[in-house]
Amino acid sequence: MSHVLTLIADRSATTLSAAVIARVRTAIDGGPPDMLSPGEATDIPCRVVPDPAVVERALEGAPIDAIATPARNRRKGLLVADMDSTIVTSETLDELAGYAGLKDKIASITKRSMNGELDFAEALQLRVGMLKGLGLEALEKTWARTKLTPGARELVATMRKHNATTALVSGGFTFFTGRVAEMLGFHLHRANTLLDDGAALTGEVGEPILDRDAKLATLRELAAARNLKLSATLAVGDGANDLAMIQEAGLGVAYHAKPIVAAAARARVDHGNLRALLFAQGYRVGDIVGG
């Protein structure tokens, strides 16, 4: 069997039942399933990449993610992850804007940018410009409210344990990526820099701006540094500025993504948490650090 279809349930919301597994296996003419985590994830070997429409019909509306990968070399040696709405649950710039009374206005711009409707760099400069004069204490308050996405710790710790390089690369800000990277153990982080005068934001972003091209460049750079083929890399994100790296990575995952990203990505996680990225690489529950 040349490929594997991995079925993954969000264990906090549903269970991957034997009936669902059997329906999907029959629909794709798959081999015997290999349970990765009882009730949560299983691999079904298959001869070719399954037709997503066939899989969707077999799932009959069950909130189950299905990710197809080549059967060989599933575990990746590099993880490049977006931060906002991926590794953390919020859009940190939108939350920061709340302390200036501008959350709704700035969030609407963020949404359009993440949907690919606006140029990323221009939208970022516009939003940050609106925050000129906001006291630096708002950054600390925003950080205090920032929450990790379920499965983030397990994803980074497990891939590190198995000798993968882990990078947090965000169109957000180093104030947050530095703290998230330290908390989770990412090897490195890259993001944009908010400029300030020592007391308040100046409304400016340090140059150069880290955008979708910079994310893709980072994926290529880090893969080359490890002498890895791009097929041995994993990229995950949710917005239009993540799409280039998602499309080029060996396993590129649109995570609870904006429509333009979900439609273009080869792999999607619409229901589960970040543990799904481990199961898609063939990790078993016993392999997961903290699992």
Residues 6 or more apart whose Cβ sits within 8 Å of residue 111: none
- Please tell me which residue in 10, 43, 65, 82 is annotated as part of the active site: 82
Q: Please tell me the distance from the alpha carbon of residue 271 to that of residue 253, in angstroms, as a whole number.
A: 13
Query: Is-catalytic flag, 196?
Result: no
3-state SS record for the chain: CCEEEEEEECCCCCCCCHHHHHHHHHHHCCCCCEEEECCCEEEEEECCCCCHHHHHHHHCCCCEEEEEEECCCCCCCEEEECCECCCECCCHHHHHHHHHCCHHHHHHHHHHHHCCCCCHHHHHHHHHHCCCCCECHHHHHHHHCCCECCCHHHHHHHHHHCCCEEEEEEEEEHHHHHHHHHHHCCCEEEEECEEECCCEEEEEECCCCCCHHHHHHHHHHHHHHCCCCHHHEEEEECCHHHHHHHHHCCEEEEECCCHHHHHHCCEEECCCCCHHHHHCCCCCHHHCCCC
Q: Are 132 and 202 in contact (CB under 8 A)?
A: yes
Query: Is-catalytic flag, 82?
Result: yes
> Which of 58, 72, 70, 57 minimizes the C-alpha distance to 21?
58
Q: Please tell me the distance from the alpha carbon of residue 235 to that of residue 246, in angstroms, as a whole number.
A: 5
- Please tell me which residue in 10, 43, 65, 84 is annotated as part of the active site: 84
CB atoms within 10 A of CB 53: 8
Residues that are catalytic: 82, 84
